[in-house]
Amino acid sequence: MADGAASAGPAAPDIGSGGFLGVSRSLSGRAWRERPADPALARSHAMRHGLSEPLARALASRGVREDQAAHYLLPTLKALFPDPSSFMDMDRAAEILIDAVERDRPMVVFADYDVDGASSAALLVRWFRAMGKVLPIYVPDRILEGYGPSPAAFRRLRAEGAELVVTVDCGAAAYDAIAAAAEIGLEVVVVDHHLMRDDPPAAAAVVNPNRPGCNSGQGNLAAAGVTFVLLAALNREARRRGLFAGRAEPDLRQWLDLAAMGAICDVTALTGFNRALASLGLKTMSHWANPGLNALMQVAKAAQDEGTPAGVFHAGFILGPRINAGGRLGRADLGARLLSTDDPDEALALAEELDALNVSRKDVEREVTEQAIAMVEKSAPRPGEAPAIVVAAEGWHPGVVGIVAGRLRERYRRPVVVIGVDPAVGIGKGSGRSQPGVNLGRAIQAAFEDGLLMAGGGHAMAAGLTVRAGEIDRFRGFLLDRLMDESAAAAELDVVEIDALISPRGADRALYQDFQRLTPFGPGNPEPMFAAANVVIDYPQVMRGGHIRCGLTDGAGAKLKAIAWRAEDTDLGRRLLAGGGGLHVAGRLKADDWNGREGVQLEIEDAADPRVSS
């Protein structure tokens, strides 16, 4: 390979034979391998679409067939939008909601308190506003009411005059609440995406691509994606009834940014139609026409000039955490109100409040994370030996346990459940994050069905639960037994998959831009991983937050800027700080636009010393 070129290289040897660059055990304890791809398919992609060999190979390695490549590189709603009628109860839900428009029935949207719930609620509010109807929003208090609908909340809404409630990003497991709603004459339509039991709750309609028997094939959608499809069904039903004779039909494309927020922030698989929602939604977001998103970017002091392209980073790391902050720290409805409003002044006031709450959230999260890590490090079996980690303590704020679980999952590469116990009532609220190959939501649901939990459910990669403090040890034992086989199989797949071998000289802006054609990245479409061999670590320094910045230099003296996030107290961080040469490094290329330089830097994922890694 010529110096400076990126290459997928020859087929990597089997992991057991050494792995990519001979790395069978890196500083993080993982093997490296070349991401598997069909060479013939890669050649076809390169020839038909004029792609570079590394990019064509990356496309093939993501399972993109010849007939899918064009829509993968340039996704469109026309090509990928599913038939709304393929979702169970979708047509019924549309009929009920259009009836409500025609009869002017009092109705409320009942939303979860996270980004997906807020985005879903805002989509419905904006569609009904276009139809001349105000749709109030109800978001339960995370601390006082817990997750999802409750009989008490439904009784309150009925007493206030509601006749119809639409639940979004919740409701699929609300059997008691929906039964109570029926007793008081409150009709309920459920729009959700979480895993379900075979028998749905007795709602007027339950729209959920993960409902047993639903043949939509859209199980990777977030609730905002399901809601977006519902809006198409509403347009179709309203058109059939002639409701657009005197008004313009709502153009759903203007709200794609909300669908993208749900898809990205709920960490759903960005494949098929869901990829189109995320990709096109980010393009819509780039105009910053939504007053709430625009205001939130202002208070976050992030540039959002007209035409500045929004990316997964904006949605997932700037906007998402701030929208979530309200639900985490006791102002559950702020996110949905922010995304729903058309008043710039109201949007700015809400954004400032959410930004302040996010600062408080970071402080709480940092304290709980430090305590949880200390607890895990003292536990037995050691975290690297257990199929899962369950850690609990009194006083941990339930609004941050999900974030902390994610931090621990990144650190230990195991499914993690973090539980905060309220000592006054002896009840723990927990949240879990999983590894690919381990269905945590299914295990949590099984624990609930076995009577170990007061409530519990979720999806493969994330779940929530409520548990009596005295049952936590039994729950831990149940989960470890339940996940033993899945975790063992997943551990075998816990490798660093490399897309291309690069040199510091070849890691330039052109290479970065070439691979940007695969965006947006996320589950189902992993961000490309590059490896550089035998580099010298120059000028390593610890930054605030435990990040390590350094330079990577090759034998010809070419240098690539690099950073390793939160690595100071890890084996990787200690090796980087030692400096010196002969290190293999793997990471993701990122734009480095500081002071308009239009360069790149490598975000280091892992490293291996060839003298000890094979």
Which strands form 389-394's sheet, in the order they lie side by side?
A: 389-394, 416-422, 427-433, 462-468, 455-459
d(CA 457, CA 466): 10
More confident: 153 or 267: 153
Number of structural domains in the chain: 3
- Residue ending a domain, choose from 492, 513, 534: 492
Question: How far, CA to CA in Å, does 294 sit from each of 37, 358, 361?
Answer: 40, 17, 22
Task: Return the pLDDT at 207.
Answer: 98
Mean pLDDT, to the nearest integer, of 321-337?
A: 90
Domain contains 418: yes
Please write the tens of the pLDDT for every residue from 582-603.
Answer: 899 999 999 998 777 889 999 9
Q: Has residue 229 got a pLDDT over 90?
A: yes
Given this model, what pLDDT does residue 404 score?
96
Identify the band that residue 14 occupies on the pLDDT scale cut at 50, 70 and 90. Answer: very low
- Over residues 75-109, the pLDDT tens digits come to 999 999 999 999 999 999 999 999 999 999 999 99
Enter the tokens of residue 311. 């990316």
Q: Tell whether 370 is covered by a domain.
A: no
Q: Which two tokens stand for residue 27?
A: 């500083």
The domain boundary residue, chosen from 492, 512, 530: 492
pLDDT at 45 over 90: yes
* Secondary structure class of 144 (helix, strand, coil): coil
Among 355, 371, 395, residue at a domain's last position: 355
pLDDT band at 460 (very low <50, low <70, confident <90, very high): confident
* Per-residue pLDDT tens over the stretch 375-404: 999 887 777 678 999 999 999 998 899 999
Same structural domain, 255 and 119: yes
CATH of the domain at 571: 2.40.50.140
Measured CA to CA, the distance from residue 518 to residue 526 in angstroms comes to: 9
| One domain for residues 344 and 389 | no
Contacts of residue 9, defined as CB under 8 A and 6 or more positions apart, other chains included, come to: 1, 34, 500, 501
Q: What value, to the nearest 5°, has the Cα angle with vertex 275 and ends 273 and 280?
A: 95
| 248 and 338 fall within a common domain | yes
Q: Which two tokens stand for residue 32?
A: 């490296």
The strands making up 187-191's β-sheet, listed across from edge to edge, are 137-138, 107-111, 164-168, 187-191, 205-207
Q: Are residues 132 and 270 in the same domain?
A: yes
Whether the pLDDT of residue 305 is over 70: the answer is no
Is residue 316 within 8 Å of 264, Cβ to Cβ?
yes
Closest by alpha carbon to 282, among 243, 255, 309? Answer: 309
Mean pLDDT confidence for 351-365: 94
pLDDT at 137: 98
Local structure of residue 525 (DSSP, 8 states): B
**Which pLDDT value is given to residue 304?**
58
Lowest mean pLDDT among 207-216, 251-260, 458-467, 473-482: 458-467
- Per-chain mean pLDDT for the chain: 92
Kindly tell me if the per-residue pLDDT of 471 is higher than 90: yes
Judgement on whether residues 22 and 96 belong to the same structural domain of the protein: no
Distance CA 177, CA 195 (A): 18
Domain at 113, CATH number: 3.90.1640.30
Return the pLDDT at 308.
67
CB-based contacts of 282: which residues, under 8 Å, 6+ apart? 257, 260, 309, 310, 311, 312, 314, 315, 520
pLDDT, average across residues 435-447: 92
CA dihedral 155, 158, 164, 168 (to 10 degrees): -40
The DSSP element (H or E) to which 553 belongs, if any, is strand 548-553
Helices (H), ranges, 286-438: 291-299, 312-313, 320-328, 334-340, 344-377, 401-412
Look at 30-44, 144-158, 380-394, 467-481 and tell me which has the smallest mean pLDDT.
380-394
463, 507: one domain? no
Q: What angle do CA 144, 146, 150 make, to 5 degrees?
A: 100
**With 60 as the cut, is the pLDDT of residue 349 above it?**
yes
Q: How far is CA 546 from the centre of its chain?
A: 24
In a domain, 57, yes or no: no
Distance CA 481, CA 494 (A): 20
Which tens digits make up the pLDDT trace of 177-213? 999 999 999 999 999 999 888 899 999 999 999 999 9
Say yes or no: 568 and 514 in one domain. Answer: yes
Q: How far apart are CA 531 and CA 515, in angstroms?
A: 15
pLDDT of residue 18: 63
Phi–psi pair at 242, nearest 5 degrees: 75, 25
Flag whether 63 is in a domain.
Answer: no
| Domain identity same for 414 and 518 | no
Structural domain includes residue 44: no
Task: Report the pLDDT value the prediction gives residue 337, as an integer from 0 to 100.
Answer: 97
Domain assignment present for 5: no
Is residue 21 a contact partner of residue 520, using CB atoms and an 8 Å limit? no
Domain of 481, CATH number, reads 3.10.310.30
> Collapsing DSSP states into helix, strand and coil, what is residue 429?
strand
Residue 74 lies in a domain: no
> Kind and range of the H or E element at 90?
helix 90-103
43 found inside a domain: no
Q: Which two tokens stand for residue 47?
A: 């020839």
Q: Are residues 295 and 336 in the same domain?
A: yes
Structural domain harbouring 470: 379-492
The per-residue pLDDT for 11 is 35
Residues 29 and 142 in one domain: no
Give the pair of three-digit tokens for residue 83: 């038939």
Q: Are residues 488 and 604 in the same domain?
A: no
